[in-house]
Amino acid sequence: MTVNTDVIIIGAGPAGLTAARNLSKSEIEYTLIDRSEKPGETKPCGGFIPSSTLKQFSVPRIEGQHQIDTVRMKFPGKELVSMQFDEILGVNVSRGSLGKALYDAIPDIVDHSLLGSSVEKVVTDARSCRVTMMKDNEETILESKLIIDASGANPVSQRFLPPRERISNSQMGYGLQYHIEVETHLVSSNTFLYGNKFSPGGYCWIFPRGNIAIVGTGGLVKNVRENERRTHEYLDSLLNEVEPFKTELAGGSIIKKDSALMPLCGVMRPSFGKRIMLAGDAAGHCSPISGEGIHYSMVGGQCAAMTAVECVQRNNFSDSILSNYEKRWVRRMGSDLKWGLWLQQKLMRPGVGRSGGWSSSGFIESKKSQKIIAEMLMGRRSVRSAIFTIAPSYLKTKIIKR
Ligand SMILES: Cc1cc2nc3c(=O)[nH]c(=O)nc-3n(C[C@H](O)[C@H](O)[C@H](O)COP(=O)(O)OP(=O)(O)OC[C@H]3O[C@@H](n4cnc5c(N)ncnc54)[C@H](O)[C@@H]3O)c2cc1C
């Protein structure tokens, strides 16, 4: 069977669903494909979404959303600090519920989506795109003018028509999570723990959702691989030895363990070519400093949809017009990705001894600095603004020279 459409979107994560929602407002015909029957259901993720993102993308209420108004942080050699804000900073959600909320918000999506269908092959030429997909052992070929590949950190089109280099192990992150069920409703704070005790050069997070705590750790794949300590050992020792988490989660049962890759590469170019636009994790749209990518993926999906409309209306699918896509997303999030990578390289090296790269930097000396970092992690402040507000003066001169 062959199906024709204007734009094929591969992947119904935040990037693909945002692209679909934006295309649904245009005259453009699109088809959204995902191998999962329930978008997001199996995606490993802490699920934190800043309030500003919910507002900016008019995200409907997400079932089971857990409001966060406090950030707890621990840096090497420092005490755990807890900062409560006057407003709701964001929500922790299950990715299945987020997928459902975003999917249901798209008018007539059922007529434009093929769920439970796995894309097996992607081919493009000067005239069109052909995507081969499988559902229940039946092969279907879809033809389109353009593809938005939003299929995650290892995008499917990359296997056939790579528009860019593969993201290396020193630019790709790995996260492992335990989902711990406890008896009581958990606190409204997200916790970030930095230093060698908690992660292989990244950080450890505890994000509550109702009576489930998502406890995760990770770092760059290269550091994880070269590390003598196995990744799960960080989580086991946190739960067995470190207060107040040991007490808060005492008696809880681990109901699920999951892990996945996240691109921590900063601005990755090119993100388009050969009638394909990569969006979301596929394009490296993820914070190199926190691994948070829901917001950035939604920005990527929106920019890809805007460019797709332009291409179809002008009947022009050249790399030249597709380059507008990259210009759009770089304008909107390039600074965060660029400075996030800078900060990651400056602060989150595996390091030795107590510091693990952080405490010697001068970035975290005062409560004021720590609050600014918290605002950055919660999506209330840009990475650049955080750096410029708290960087020690010797560093500011170096930064300005860049
Ligand atoms: C452990 C962990 C914790 C995280 N925590 C957070 C957090 O708290 N907050 C935050 O903002 N970000 C977090 N992130 C990052 C965030 O999950 C991603 O950045 C985000 O999901 C990227 O969205 P996306 O739409 O680009 O891709 P994805 O969400 O990965 O969606 C890709 C979709 O493509 C589909 N797909 C893939 N291949 C095919 C194929 N061949 N055929 C058909 N369909 C296919 C998949 O089924 C999937 O639905 C975390 C990541 C990890 C790994």
Helix (H, G, I), strand (E, B) or coil at 7: strand
**How high is the pLDDT of residue 347?**
77
Q: Which residue has the higher pLDDT, 92 or 162?
A: 92
With a 6 Å cutoff on the Cβ, whether 200 touches ligand 1 is: no
Residue 246 neighbours by CB under 8 Å, 6+ apart: 238, 239, 240
Residue 190 CA to residue 83 CA, distance in Å, equals: 10
Tokens of 239: 């739960």
Residue with tokens 């409001």: 67
pLDDT in tens, 345-380: 887 766 544 545 565 566 777 888 899 999 999 999
Strands 48-50 and 81-84, sheet pairing: unpaired
Dist. CA 16 → ligand 1 center (Å): 10
With a 6 Å cutoff on the Cβ, whether 300 touches ligand 1 is: no
User: What single DSSP character describes residue 302?
Assistant: H
Facing residues of 174 across strands? 219, 261
With a 6 Å cutoff on the Cβ, whether 286 touches ligand 1 is: yes
The CATH number of 63-93+175-263 is which of 3.30.930.10, 3.40.50.1220, 3.30.9.10, 1.10.3300.10? 3.30.9.10
Instruction: Determine which residue's CA is closest to atom 21 belonging to ligand 1.
Output: 294
User: What percentage of residues in the chain have a pLDDT greater than 90?
Assistant: 85
From 94, 131, 294, the mutation candidate for ligand 1 (largest count of ligand atoms within 8 A of CB) is 294
**How high is the pLDDT of residue 397?**
66
With a 6 Å cutoff on the Cβ, whether 46 touches ligand 1 is: yes
Contact between 124 and 276 (Cβ < 8 Å)? yes
Dist. CA 132 → ligand 1 center (Å): 22
Confidence of residue 402 (pLDDT cuts 50, 70, 90): low
With a 6 Å cutoff on the Cβ, whether 260 touches ligand 1 is: yes
Domain ranges of the chain: 2-44+97-168+265-340, 63-93+175-263, 350-401
Strands 66-68 and 203-209, sheet pairing: unpaired
With a 6 Å cutoff on the Cβ, whether 44 touches ligand 1 is: yes
Contact between 130 and 123 (Cβ < 8 Å)? yes
Q: Which ligand 1 atom lies nearest to the CA of residue 259?
A: 1
Within 10 angstroms of residue 385's Cβ, the number of other Cβ atoms is 16
Dist. CA 152 → ligand 1 center (Å): 5
Helix 393-401 and helix 383-390, axial crossing angle in degrees, nearest 10: 130
With a 6 Å cutoff on the Cβ, whether 357 touches ligand 1 is: no
Q: Compute the mean pLDDT over every residue in the chain, rounded to the nearest whole number.
A: 93
**How high is the pLDDT of residue 352?**
47
Does 114 have pLDDT greater than 90?
Answer: yes
State the average pLDDT over residues 145-156. 98
Helix (H, G, I), strand (E, B) or coil at 16: helix
Does 246 have pLDDT greater than 80?
Answer: yes
Residue 358 CA to residue 201 CA, distance in Å, equals: 10
The fold of the 2-44+97-168+265-340 domain, in CATH, is FAD/NAD(P)-binding domain (3.50.50)
Confidence of residue 401 (pLDDT cuts 50, 70, 90): low
Dist. CA 26 → ligand 1 center (Å): 25
Tokens of 370: 């720590």
Residue 121 CA to residue 132 CA, distance in Å, equals: 5
Does 180 have pLDDT greater than 90?
Answer: yes
**How high is the pLDDT of residue 391?**
78
Tokens of 380: 């209330």
With a 6 Å cutoff on the Cβ, whether 177 touches ligand 1 is: yes
